[in-house]
Amino acid sequence: MDRVIAAQVFIDVAESRSFTRTSERLAMSRPMVTRYIEAMEDWLKVRLLHRTTRKISLTSAGEACLKDVERWLEQADNITTLANTGEELSGLLRITASVSFGYSQLMPAIQSFMAQHPKISIDIDLEDSTADLTEKRIDLALRIASNPDPQLIGKPIAVCESVLVASPAYLEKACKTPSEIQHPQDLINYECLGYKNFERHIWHLSQNEQFESVSVHCRVTINEATALMHATLNGMGISLQPTYLANRYIKEGRLHHLLPEWKPKDLSVYALYSSRKHLSPNVRALIDYLEDYLAAHPW
């Protein structure tokens, strides 16, 4: 049996503590998972796992072997990568991103990447909540944050700026013009819309060396940025929006940019993965491509 696959199965079972979960995560039958584990034990001449009807756990020998198997698999992956540098990329990539970023930025980039690599298939999971990359077998997460999860590895590939916006309809209803909102503290007199995943009640703004934190009143909070944008367009209040969503509507006159001299703090778009180990050529290629694409297509 393939020893590289057997090592992958052993590492996954050590993490999942379940033959059934590993079979689902690796798209492999449960009997095949069992066969690979038995093959590993035959090759290493030790029992790696305690198996009961209720749970799976590592033996002391399995604990001792795990790090060595991980290092060996990493070396095997590196050798394979070096040997296959001239080969065409192929296989399945699983990606996760927020709904708004996926809709407005990721789709055009992915379309272009797949055109360059016709043997690549991509499965995209869009959600604003944080996904467990290991649990969902995600290869790459694109997340917008000031400080990403320290348990994940990755790099910033773009800057995400934000703006304060409101529709002409809302400003007319509030009997104000954009110029009448002159200071961040003026926002406390208006209806604001909160984004549950980011600064939903306190907005931090800066102008040169001045900093203001405003506790805003949010009758409506939403957990997804695209819905928040449409609430803003429909005149429900003022919202803090990423420029990748808002700039289009500002240019069309459907939104007004409020307090343009005051800047919300910048965030970074991170490309994140669960471990430095076993980072496939496909994932490396996609990270590099997205960084170049986003630099060449500013929003």
- For 232, the domain range is 162-265
Are 170 and 239 in the same domain?
yes
Chain segment 237-274, per-residue pLDDT in tens? 999 999 999 999 999 999 999 999 999 999 999 999 87
Tokens coding 21 = 């979960």
Output phi, psi for 150, to 5 deg.
Answer: -65, -15
Are 245 and 203 in the same domain?
yes
Last residue of a domain, one of 40, 60, 83: 83
Residue 109: which residues within 8 A CB-CB, separation 6 or more?
289, 290, 293, 294, 297
Are 274 and 291 in the same domain?
yes
Are 131 and 144 in the same domain?
yes
Are 177 and 231 in the same domain?
yes
- In the sheet that 256-258 helps form, which strands lie side by side, from edge to edge? 218-222, 192-195, 238-242, 162-166, 256-258
CB 275 within 8 A of CB 153: yes
Are 221 and 260 in the same domain?
yes
Last residue of a domain, one of 43, 64, 83: 83
d(CA 157, CA 136): 23
- What predicted TM-score, i.e. pTM, was given to this entire model? 0.71
pLDDT of residue 183: 94
Are 250 and 289 in the same domain?
no
Last residue of a domain, one of 24, 58, 83: 83
pLDDT of residue 247: 96
pLDDT of residue 77: 65
Chain segment 94-143, per-residue pLDDT in tens? 999 999 999 999 999 999 999 999 999 999 999 887 767 766 778 899 99
Number of Cα atoms under 13 Å in the Cβ half of residue 263: 9
Total domains, the chain: 3
Are 156 and 281 in the same domain?
yes
Q: What torsion, rounded to 10 degrees, do the Cα atoms 41, 43, 44, 49 define?
A: -10
The crossing angle, in degrees rounded to 10, of helices 107-116 and 281-296 is 120
d(CA 23, CA 19): 6
Are 146 and 284 in the same domain?
yes
Are 20 and 147 in the same domain?
no
Q: Which residues of the chain have pLDDT under 70?
A: 1, 77-87, 131, 134-135, 198-200, 275-279
Are 172 and 231 in the same domain?
yes
pLDDT of residue 27: 78
pLDDT of residue 95: 94
Other C-beta atoms closer than 10 Å to the C-beta of 109 total: 18
- The CATH number assigned to the domain holding 30 equals 1.10.10.10
> Strand 192-195 vs strand 238-242: parallel, antiparallel, or unpaired?
parallel
Are 68 and 132 in the same domain?
no
For the chain, counts of helices (H) and of strands (E) = 10, 15
